Structure 1
Amino acid sequence: MERDEFINALKREGYAEIATVTRDAHGTVDDHVHPFEAKALILHGELAIRIGTAEQVYGTGDVFHLQADESHSERVGSEGVQYLVGRK
């Protein structure tokens, strides 16, 4: 999915806050939750998200979606990661 197409989709779906996040290579974030729903498009790099015992790896062009208060951990790939995220 292209960046502009994704932004338009976020707006249609009610995501009022849109931001770009950049994380350094090999970074990790232990289990945590967010008080908001998040939907993101990977712009560059790779991000692995673990929910419970299942881990999904997302690369450039992939979209991930997390519900509010959904416990998850994150692991950044060897090139770092940059993603565009909508929050509501």
Structure 2
Amino acid sequence: MERDDFIEMLAREGFQTTVLVEHEAGASLDDHAHAFEAKALILEGELTLGVDNIDTRDQPGDVFHLRANETHSERYGPEGVCYLVGRK
């Protein structure tokens, strides 16, 4: 998905806050949750999300969605990751 299309989709779906997030290469976060719903577009690098014992690898152009309070883990690829995320 393209960045402009993603931003339009977020607006249609009621995501009011948009944040650019970057994580360094090879870093990770163990299981955790956020109080907000998140939908993100990978811009650069790679992110592996672990949800319900299933890992999903996302790369540039991929979109991922997490429900509010959904427990997940994160692993960042060999070049790190940069993504644009809408929160609500």
Fold in common (TM above 0.5): yes
| 2:38 paired with 1:23 | no
Q: What SS is found at the alignment partner of 1:30?
A: strand
For residues 26 and 5 of structure 1, the distance between their equivalents in structure 2, rounded to whole angstroms, comes to 29
For residues 50 and 2 of structure 2, the distance between their equivalents in structure 1, rounded to whole angstroms, comes to 25
For residues 52 and 14 of structure 1, the distance between their equivalents in structure 2, rounded to whole angstroms, comes to 26
Offset of residue 53 of structure 1? 1.1
**5+ residue gaps, structure 1:** none
Partner of residue 10, structure 2: 10
Structure 1 ranges of 4+ moved more than 2 A:
none
For residues 15 and 53 of structure 2, the distance between their equivalents in structure 1, rounded to whole angstroms, comes to 28
**5+ residue gaps, structure 2:** none
For residues 65 and 38 of structure 2, the distance between their equivalents in structure 1, rounded to whole angstroms, comes to 6
Q: How many residue pairs end up in the alignment?
A: 88
Identity value in percent:
56
TM-score, with structure 1 as normaliser = 0.98
For residues 6 and 46 of structure 1, the distance between their equivalents in structure 2, rounded to whole angstroms, comes to 18
Offset of residue 52 of structure 1? 2.0
TM-score, with structure 2 as normaliser = 0.98
Cα RMSD of the aligned pairs, angstroms, is 0.5
Instruction: Give the alignment of 1:1-88 within 5 angstroms.
Output: 1-88=1-88
Offset of residue 34 of structure 1? 0.3
For residues 29 and 61 of structure 1, the distance between their equivalents in structure 2, rounded to whole angstroms, comes to 22
For residues 6 and 67 of structure 1, the distance between their equivalents in structure 2, rounded to whole angstroms, comes to 18
For residues 45 and 26 of structure 1, the distance between their equivalents in structure 2, rounded to whole angstroms, comes to 11
For residues 6 and 52 of structure 2, the distance between their equivalents in structure 1, rounded to whole angstroms, comes to 27
